Amino acid sequence: MTTKRRVFSGIQPTGNIHLGNYLGAVKNWVAGQEKKINYFCIVDLHSLTVSQDPDDLRFQTRSLAAMLLACGIDPDKSALFIQSHVRAHAEGCWLLNCVTPLGWLQRMTQYKDKAAKQESVLAGLLDYPVLMAGDILFYDADEVPVGEDQKQHVELTRDIAQRFNSLYGRDFFVIPKPIIPEIGARVMGLDDPTVKMSKSLADKRGHAIRLLDEPKEIMRSFKRAVTDSGREIIFSRAPEKAGVNNLLGIYKAATGEDETAVLADFADARGYGDLKVRVAEAVIEILNPIRQRYHQLMDDPAELDRLLARGAEQAAAVANPKVDAMKEMMGLVLPR
């Protein structure tokens, strides 16, 4: 008998979920559900590492839950839950903080990028990757399906796990692997194909396709997409082809076709105008049913809460005892 692989991944509830999140992560969570034991987490504690409007954060958290279900997360196959509903995350993060050298955190590129843009940096932002490490480790996850930008955080998680294991108990934590898709791992901004599509820029006109955008808006954003002054529709790493390459990558990830089939689809295209319209059409086709299902789920808040409570219960049953075991190993006295 083969044992099922264990999967953990997370997504922040702030900013608008966009096509990069979908193609880089969520689509793969949905695809892998059948064969594995899955934990998918709405990481609201991570969102607090930059300042938030409380009412907005509450709304976004529930809205994201509805969106993940609409994308195809099946509560019968996966535990979908809100991070702050499971006490292990905040508690266990403290324990991991006490085995993680500061220098490891100061080296994280996302921390450096985000901190450079802020006047006053919160301690939570530096600690962000430790909270994330706990997310993964408390579920004994073997696999962490993420986009390219999270690879360094998963590598740090491995280092923290190894350090804890060498200090306290050889095989206590499973050493997880990042699973990065071959396509869609790094969807770039439509307005600037040199920067990744990001939630923080998702409200900037023409930057992102948000999963809740109406077809007209999607078409408009693709038509405005930055390309180059040539005409060649090819996959290419050349810097000047970054825009076209991004559009073809999105089409490839959206349709699931290989590169030869994608290029064949565009063999009769008359320039970039055609390319943009056809990519937009492929994306609209995937997002239409997701958007409709999202609105249905948001119309039934009691059912949404019920599903989230069930997910949290399943998650807590795994993570809380794991953190209690950590406490014991580290010398804390457990309450009797």
Residues 6 or more apart in contact with residue 89 via CB below 8 angstroms: 45, 83, 131, 134, 135, 138, 319
Percent helix / strand / coil, the chain, rounded to 5? 60, 10, 35
Residues 6 or more apart in contact with residue 105 via CB below 8 angstroms: 111, 126, 127, 129, 130
Q: How far is the CB of 196 from ligand TYM (least distance, A)?
A: 4
Query: Which residues ranging from 191 to 220 are in contact with ligand TYM (CB under 6 A)?
Result: 196-198
Residue 227 makes contact with ligand TYM by CB under 6 A: no
Catalytic residue among 36, 151, 177, 196: 196
Pairing relation of β-strands 78-82 and 177-179? Answer: unpaired
Catalytic residue flag (residue 114): yes
Residues 81, 308 contacting (CB under 8 angstroms):
yes
Reading across the β-sheet that carries 78-82, which strands appear in turn?
A: 78-82, 37-42, 6-11, 143-145, 177-179
Q: Please say which residue, 36 or 153, places its beta carbon nearer to ligand TYM.
A: 153
Count residues binding ligand TYM (CB under 6 A).
Answer: 27
Residue 160 makes contact with ligand TYM by CB under 6 A: no
Catalytic residue among 114, 151, 223, 322: 114
Pairing relation of β-strands 78-82 and 6-11? Answer: unpaired
Q: Please say which residue, 30 or 132, places its beta carbon nearer to ligand TYM.
A: 132
Residues 111, 126 contacting (CB under 8 angstroms):
yes
Catalytic residue flag (residue 199): yes
Q: How far is the CB of 132 from ligand TYM (least distance, A)?
A: 4
Query: Which residues ranging from 7 to 46 are in contact with ligand TYM (CB under 6 A)?
Result: 8-12, 20-21, 24-25, 43, 46
Query: Which residues ranging from 120 to 149 are in contact with ligand TYM (CB under 6 A)?
Result: 132, 135-136, 144, 146-147, 149
Residues 6 or more apart in contact with residue 335 via CB below 8 angstroms: none
Q: How far is the CB of 336 from ligand TYM (least distance, A)?
A: 33
Residue 79 makes contact with ligand TYM by CB under 6 A: no
Residue 82 makes contact with ligand TYM by CB under 6 A: no
Catalytic residue flag (residue 216): no
Which residues of the chain form contacts with ligand TYM (CB under 6 A)? 8-12, 20-21, 24-25, 43, 46, 132, 135-136, 144, 146-147, 149-150, 153, 184-187, 196-198
What are the residue numbers of the active site?
114, 196, 199
